[in-house]
Structure 1
Amino acid sequence: MKNINSHNEPLSNDQEFLQSLPKVELPYSRSKEDVWQNMEAMMDNGKQSEETTTETKGKTINMRSWAMAAAAVIIFTLCTGTFFRLYTKTINAHAGQHLTALLPDGSSIELNAGSVIKYKPYWWRFEREVQFEGEAFFKVKKGESFEVVSSLGRTIVLGTSFNIYARKNDYKVTCYTGKVRVVSTSSGASTDITPNMQAVVNNGTVSSHNNVNTSETISWVNDMFIFTGTPIHMVFEEVERQYGISIKTTEHLDYLYSGNFTRDRSVDDVVNMICRSMGLDHKKVSNGYLISK
């Protein structure tokens, strides 16, 4: 029987070094299921964080949108209010025209030729005020104070009818019905007048006159023009307004005229009638007449 001697090959230096290292066992008690659950939880937390951030951004955007909308509403309201407060309507009766203006409250104004009114239609319910120059007959509905403002005077009423003549340096108010207060623009002096009375503003003073022939004063509303002791230049100015022509004189005429005419007559007839009664000559020229002694 042969003796077989075991023979071990010598180890290399690297192998000897590895075998000499102490064995370390890492404890690991989690299963694969635990690992996946942990990873899924981390992913869910990430999604919730993103959703929270998105929600916060959404709230910020919504608040900003509401603020911008509120600012837009405020600006729109202010602009609209300013427009309603400042918008002014103008009605102008040119030479040769008679116009009727109906105001928002139902009041009416009959405008003689060469007259103009201005008022604020959208602000009327808060302030019944008319800017006026010329001659007009007013029929005012009852209500809050109604004021007519001209360069020389103011007329204040509650509900009445009256005529205002406001041309150049003349300001006369004739009361037809109700009660009217007339105030001087320059001095603040005032007087109250009732039917058949007339107030005159002259250089800051206000005087009143009784027993005025109101039917004569407002006859122009019916296209009748009546003059009693009226300076001739004022008569010619009225003819100019009613017919849209020009009347010139070669010199100053210090005449007082009494008479009348209606608008249905031709301008030639009217000028001829006035001149003949005053002993004046007239000549037809371009766009009007030339008057001389």
Structure 2
Amino acid sequence: MSVRADVRFDSAGVACAAWHFPGVGDGLATAAGRPAVVMAHGLGGTKDSGLEPFATRLAAAGLEVLAFDYRGFGASEGSPRQRVSMAGQLEDYRAAMAAAAALPGVDPRRLVLWGVSLAGGHVLAAAAGRDDVAAVVSLTPLVDGLAAGRHALASHSPASIVRSTVAGLHSRAGRVPVTMPIVGRLGETAALTLPGLYEDYTALAGPTWVNEVDAAVGLKLGGHRPGRLAKHVRCPMLVQIADFDRSAPPHAAAKAAVKGRAEVRHYPCDHFDVWPGKEWFEAAVAHQVRFLGRHLATDRSTVDRNENAF
């Protein structure tokens, strides 16, 4: 098993915290080094909340992995805390890419961008137009804020949407951010309140995770449309879609996948059912290992091992 090490890197003057999982074996290595995965969480997520099982499996397949916290979240510095800035998170992701490229033994021209949910959209924007990105993995991605808003209207009660919107307007208008829970139970005011999501999210929660987010996040999502940039991604892409996803619209992910000429994997489940401890985790991580093995391996025997590993 890969043993992780603590790493810190600078993003626009803010110290971001990360874990480095060293790759095992040289099956994916060249004279320039191993490929490196840059891994980030979704809305309000922290690296200690479910990312490690993905990271260790990818490291065991021969990839260096850097999983990090955005500014203002988890073990990273930055204030205000718990505020989601789309531009800021993308800046942090790009800074993490530079940090991963500088790790010992890494081939800086073979970066792999890995993102889930909100970060599943960030990786499309971060990869667009770059030649140092060798592959992209986008897991149950949120790639279109307008589509996500319509998706929420169809599944949330009008009262819960009104309460969240009012809180967001107060936060945007005031000097001090107004916060609300990231996830709550049905009938509560929170960013996510559909039945079962509270249990699913909190089951993943690590010690640095805080169930709190700036309430203005919902007002920012409408203009967040990284799926439009998928056509500018030049490398192989894997898009993993939960067909019954109540949080990130699956049809929007499918459209982005077509634009990016991606390999697509479908899972008959909801948003959190591809996470560790859930029914579709093993399939999702196995597909990631196989995809990356095919596109990053330096010889056929490595491809065969990865194809037969699960």
- Identify the TM-score tier after normalising by the shorter chain: under 0.3
Highest RCO, 1 vs 2 (Cα 8 Å, sep ≥ 6)? 2
Structure with greater helix share of residues = 2
TM-score, normalised with respect to structure 2: 0.20
Larger radius of gyration: 1
Q: Give the structure-1-normalised TM-score.
A: 0.21
